[in-house]
């Protein structure tokens, strides 16, 4: 089997895939032959652009609007995926938001919004995807955590807590699902060139990165594809792989 056919016949759901890291992951998995579902929460136009881009390159893609933090919404979305394809093989939990602020000034709403999307959303999507993966006795789940879930970051108590929670969740799921042939791993990106980092003072950030540069969305996508499509990646589970230019050393 050639590399470009390594995910042929597989079905993948990528949450938060209308832009940034999620978009790049969806594009990469489709290049490897997977049929991808593009989850998004607000921008129908951007999701449509990703779907069209994939189709124009000969791939298969669908857009799927749902709120990862609401169980009814997640349940309904998985019903649609199964109705179209009958199964799901790959889940990439990428959807995430920020509501930054120093802890003393942080409102409960800011805490809840971030925890609900960034952690509860991972729980809900994994819960529903794993049902079908367990029946097949195979599957791959990749959770996008963050370097701040490992080292913390002032002004991001909610985000750091959620991303650290994703790491603990990943380890537990890996142990629970291993006997059913399901691998579960987390990726902890550092500062990656996206719309989110465009608003930051990157000169100061780069000083704290040993490699002295930001990462790219394609580097994250390549790591995801390694974990879900390569034989070498098939013996990796329960791990959190930092891809941060050395920030968490």
Catalytic residue among 40, 128, 159, 235: 159
Residue 178 to residue 190: CA distance in whole angstroms:
28
Identify the pLDDT of residue 5. Answer: 55
Among 33-37, 92-96, 201-205, 226-230, whose mean pLDDT is lowest? 201-205
pLDDT at 4 over 60: no
Partners of 77 in beta bridges: none
pLDDT band at 2 (very low <50, low <70, confident <90, very high): very low
> Side by side, which strands form the sheet with 90-93?
60-65, 35-40, 11-14, 90-93, 139-144, 182-189, 240-243
Its pTM stands at: 0.95
Identify the pLDDT of residue 89. Answer: 98
Cβ neighbour number for residue 147 with a 10 Å cutoff: 22
pLDDT at 66 over 90: yes
> What is the percentage of the chain residues whose pLDDT exceeds 70?
98
Identify the pLDDT of residue 1. Answer: 40
pLDDT band at 119 (very low <50, low <70, confident <90, very high): very high
Task: Answer yes or no: 40 catalytic.
Answer: no
CA Rg, the chain, in Å? 17
């Amino acid at each position: 089997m050639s590399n470009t056919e390594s995910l042929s016949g597989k079905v993948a759901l990528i949450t938060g895939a209308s832009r940034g890291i999620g978009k790049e992951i969806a594009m990469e998995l489709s290049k490897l032959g997977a049929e991808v579902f593009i989850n998004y929460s607000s921008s129908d136009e951007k999701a449509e652009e990703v779907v069209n881009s994939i189709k124009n390159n000969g791939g298969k893609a669908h857009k799927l609007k749902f709120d990862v933090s609401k169980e009814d919404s997640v349940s309904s979305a998985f019903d649609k995926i199964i109705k179209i394809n009958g199964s799901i093989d790959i889940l990439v939990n990428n959807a995430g938001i920020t509501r930054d602020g120093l802890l003393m000034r942080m409102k409960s709403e800011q805490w809840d919004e971030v925890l609900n999307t960034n952690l509860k959303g991972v729980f809900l999507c994994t819960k529903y995807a794993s049902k079908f993966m367990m029946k097949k006795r195979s599957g791959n789940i990749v959770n996008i955590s963050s370097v701040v879930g490992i080292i913390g970051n002032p002004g991001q108590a909610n985000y750091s807590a959620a991303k650290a929670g994703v790491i603990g969740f990943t380890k537990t799921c890996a142990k629970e699902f291993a006997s059913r042939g399901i691998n579960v791993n987390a990726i902890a990106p550092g500062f990656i060139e996206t719309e989110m980092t465009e608003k930051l003072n990157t000169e100061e950030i780069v000083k704290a990165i040993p490699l002295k540069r930001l990462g790219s969305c394609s580097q994250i996508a390549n790591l995801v594809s390694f974990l879900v499509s390569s034989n070498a990646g098939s013996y990796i589970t329960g791990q959190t792989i930092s891809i941060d230019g050395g920030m968490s050393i």
